[in-house]
Every structure is written in C-alpha cells, then in structure tokens.
Amino acid sequence: MDPIASLAAPLTASELAPLTPTSNDLLAAAQTLNAQLAAMHFRAPVAAVLNPLEYAWAVYERYVRQFAAGPRRVIFLGMNPGPFGMMQTGVPFGEVAAVRDWMGLRAEVMQPEQPHPKRPIQGFACNRSEVSGRRLWAWVAERWGAPEAFFEESFVLNWCPLAFLEAGGRNFTPDRLPAAELRVLEAACDAHLQQAVRTLQPDWVIGVGGFAERRLQCALAGWPAIRIGSILHPSPASPAANRGWAAQVNLQLADLGVWPS
C-alpha cells in the first residue's frame, strides 16, 4: 500500500501519546477485529469493502492513544464509516477538519488494497465534508470547547469499521447485508464492542441512531451495570436531524440523565 500524495501542504504527523493499559487494550481489540474481518467475504451488490482501521491505522492509533488513556464514563457508538469521514481519516465520524484542526491528529493515510474508483481515498487532502461528522463534532466543540474536556469522560467508537460500497459508489449499510453474512459480521463486531466496554468501563453507552442502539441492546444484554440509550443520528438523510440536531441531542441526553440540559 502506497501513501497518498497530499494535495495540500505536506502533512506533519502528530506525536504519539504514551501507551496506557486502556489504550493498549483498545488497539489490540481493534487488531483482533481487523483479522476477523479480513477473512469475511460479501456478495453483490457489495462491490468493494474498505477498512480504514487498516489503511488509516496511523490516525486511529493516535486517536485512541490521545483520547482513551483510561476509563470513560460515556461511550457514543456509531454504525460504520461514511465516505468523507472515517473512510478518509480512520476516526469515527471523522470529518477531516474536525480530526485535523480540532483534535490535532495528523498522520499518513495509505491506499486500501482494493480501492473503489468512484470513492477515492484522499485522507486529509479530501476537501469534501462529512455532514454527520461535522454536526457531531461541532456540537461537541460548542458544548465542551477543547477536545480534552469532552474526551476526559467520553469516547466515540463505531460498531463496524467496514465501509460497504456498491459498484456505482453508493454506500451500502450493514443492516442490508444478507442474513448469513450479517450474522458473521455481528458476531465479530459485537465481540469487539464487548471488549471495548470491558476496557473503558463506562456507565453509559449511547447509540447514535437506532441501528447502533439495537446492537448495544444485543451485545450488552445481561450487563446490568451498563445503561444504554440513544440519540438522534446526525445524518442529513434524517428530516428530524435537519431541524436543530444539536438542541435535540442536548434534550435527549438530559432526559436520559447522562448530562444536565
């Protein structure tokens, strides 16, 4: 895999934060998941499967080491990568400007082994914005200010790191996979989620959208110490999300008792 040639200024990698037992366990769990996912095969209409936790591992490692040094009270869980977010940066909901400028994370993003011609991986040179990621991280930045203030007690993960693309480049969400393929994917991703929860020891796990909440309910069934909730997904495909998403999420979290309004 060859590094991407930057379309902007030369990229200077951010420094690696010290490895802690928590960040080490999270990274080891992600590598185990990567190995399991690499053995899976998916039929049409899926034409390409991209795993940013492989080709953008250098960024994801910095994300975990910088912001998951110890247990976190709240975990937010998304579904899987978007084309101009995590697919480009390796960070969940990883809108380029938020990852690069607000989080201060920079590293080379490699090319996937089987790229999709209509969804090029440009890494930090990608000039398109992921609306879901921009909404989520803008809300975090407005409410908490510095990233350290948010990540001191919270962390954001995706249930599945794979992006599924149709031949025309359209995103194919995991819930639309054939039942047999979905069962194998669920087993691996649920196991990774369980390990992340054991490692981060949260009080709350919050699904970003209904799919993520359902996976939490399934994966963490019988875990009475963990409280599960959900918030509205920030996708522009949701009419509700286009009517003041941040204000609605603040109310939802206050109603759950996660944070005051």
pLDDT at 261: 67
Give the DSSP letter of residue 243.
T
In the chain, DSSP assigns E strands to 48-50, 74-78, 154-158, 163-165, 204-208, 227-231
Q: 47: alpha, beta or left, given left = phi > 0 and alpha = psi -120 to 50?
A: alpha
Confidence (pTM): 0.94
Stretch 119-130: mean pLDDT: 95
How far is 147 from 154, CA to CA, in rounded Å?
Answer: 10
pLDDT at 167: 95
The pLDDT > 90 percentage for the chain reads 92
Work out whether the CA dihedral 46, 98, 33, 13 comes out positive or negative: positive
Beta-sheet pairing, 154-158 with 74-78: parallel
% helix, strand, coil for the chain, step of 5: 45, 10, 45
How far is 207 from 202, CA to CA, in rounded Å?
Answer: 13
pLDDT at 11: 62
How far is 211 from 79, CA to CA, in rounded Å?
Answer: 7
Average pLDDT, the chain: 94
Measured at the CA of 256, the angle between CA 251 and CA 261, to 5 degrees, comes to: 35
pLDDT at 1: 44
- Residues 171-189 pLDDT 10s: 999 999 999 999 999 999 9
Domain extents in the chain = 33-255
pLDDT at 121 over 50: yes
Report whether 231 contacts 208 (CB < 8 A).
yes
Is the domain defined by 33-255 classed in CATH 3.20.20.70? no
pLDDT at 109 over 70: yes
pLDDT at 105: 97
